[in-house]
Amino acid sequence: MSPKTVPPRRYNFFILGLWLQPDRRPGEPVDWRIVLEDPHTAERTSFGTLAELDAFLSDWMEERVSNE
- Reading the chain (68 residues) residue by residue, the pLDDT tens digits are 556 676 667 788 999 999 988 787 888 888 889 999 999 899 999 999 999 999 999 999 998 888 76
Amino acid residing at 29? P
Distance CA 42, CA 38 (A): 5
Distance CA 65, CA 63 (A): 6
Sheet containing 15-20: give its strands across.
15-20, 32-38, 43-47
pTM for the structure as a whole = 0.72
What mean pLDDT, rounded, does the chain reach? 86
Helix (H, G, I), strand (E, B) or coil at 9: coil
- H-helix or E-strand containing 59? helix 50-66
